Amino acid sequence: MVLTTPVIRAIAVHYPKAEIHYLTKVQHYEVIKAHPLIKRIHLVNKSGKELMPALQAECFDYIIDLHHNLRSRPFKWFLSGKKYSFRKLNIEKWLRVQCGIDILPRVHIVERYLETLTPLGIPKTPLPLEYFIPQEDQIDVGQLFGNADVKNLNFVNQKAPSYGVYALGGQHATKRLPEDLIIALCRSVRAPLILLGGKGDQATAERVVKASNNPYLFSFCGRFNINQSADVVRQAQVLITHDSVMMHIGAAFARPTLAIWGNTIPEFGMFAWQPGHPQNVQSFEINGLNCRPCSKIGFDACPKGHFKCMRNQPIDAIRNTFHQWMTEG
């Protein structure tokens, strides 16, 4: 959803009088609810059949399908208006994963989303991602560190210490560093570092904090909603992240980002999109593994058992780059 925001902006810029509606699942409402260019958000619960009469009554002129799958197809069938769908590249991705044949175009998914608008006369301008945080979800980061002794560090301003964020999440285990490597990274960090994640990451974060024994490490996993976490990322100086939603949220705020890649690859077109600040992103990935990518999404465990795509990650280099960027910021 974050990756679709350039499409919203492009439509609004080219057709300033257009009324833009957004259709998504009810559980994703928080991510998009504060977007100022969206006139109305329609929320799908289960199949979405209950929405059809109301959607048909809207008499849309255009339906832009940026999902293009079985779940979105009924809406295109039953709604009036001209329909446009983006290219998913399913065959190209399947060939890359299953056969090692690489015919993937070197374009970001945002560019393919924007390409969907060209029949409407909208140019494929590389617009940045956007993320809008409701006022009630904005975080005073100065309060997060409490009485922690961080004043002797070099990463301090007058109001609050500058800090980094490590987003622990990742939809699948093969997208995340193993816990022992997370501990090794966090143990050696000498700058305030906040761990962010959902409730499912809370137990991991607690073990990492305990095992790291690092006074500059703070966990807020499971304590913030998605918008509050986004606001903590917005104010961070450096973001460490796996291939996850937080990578894209960080890109929306043009945060310097250290992206750690496991079984997935940036060539799938979903790397951190910062067209105006490409120097802000550094990817860490283990190239040359003939088993990578093993999936376009991920698994609960490495299919080969060795998990070299994450176990061979250069933890020292990630830490050193983090410190360098914290100092330069």
Residue 329 scores a pLDDT above 90: no
Establish whether domains 2-120 and 156-328 are of one fold.
yes
Mean pLDDT of 183-211: 95
Residue 163 has pLDDT above 60, yes or no: yes
Residue 185: pLDDT band with limits 50, 70, 90: very high
Longest dimension (CA), the chain: 63
pTM, two decimal places: 0.92
* DSSP characters over 47-79: T-GGGHHHHHHH--SEEEESS-STTTHHHHHHS
Could you say which of 3.40.50.2000, 3.40.50.720, 3.40.50.150, 3.40.50.300 is the CATH number of the domain covering 156-328? 3.40.50.2000
Give the CATH class of 2-120.
alpha beta
> Where is pLDDT greater, at 50 or 256?
256
Tell me the pLDDT of the chain averaged across its residues.
Answer: 92
Domain boundaries defined on the chain: 2-120, 156-328
Q: Peptide bond preceding 278: is omega within 30 degrees of 0, i.e. cis?
A: no
Q: How far apart are the first and last CA of the chain?
A: 29
Query: pLDDT confidence of 143, banded at 50, 70, 90?
Result: confident
Report the amino acid identity of residue 204: T
Q: Are the CB atoms for 192 and 163 separated by under 8 Å?
A: yes
Please give the pLDDT value at position 299.
Answer: 95
Give the pLDDT band of residue 169 (cuts 50, 70, 90): confident
pLDDT by residue (tens digit) across 271-303? 999 999 999 999 999 999 999 999 999 999 999
**DSSP secondary structure letters along 224-262:** S-HHHHHHHHHT-SEEEEESSHHHHHHHHTT--EEEE-S
pLDDT, one tens digit per residue, over 68-123 is: 988 899 998 899 899 999 999 999 999 999 999 999 999 999 999 999 999 999 99
Closest CA to 6 of 116, 121, 113, 132: 113
- Give the E-state strand segments of 97-192 in sequence order: 164-167
pLDDT-based confidence at residue 46 (cuts at 50, 70, 90): confident
In this model, does residue 152 exceed pLDDT 50?
no
User: pLDDT-derived band of residue 158, with 50, 70 and 90 as boundaries?
Assistant: very low
Q: Around Cβ 110, how many Cβ atoms within 10 Å? A: 25
The answer to whether residue 199 scores a pLDDT higher than 60 is yes
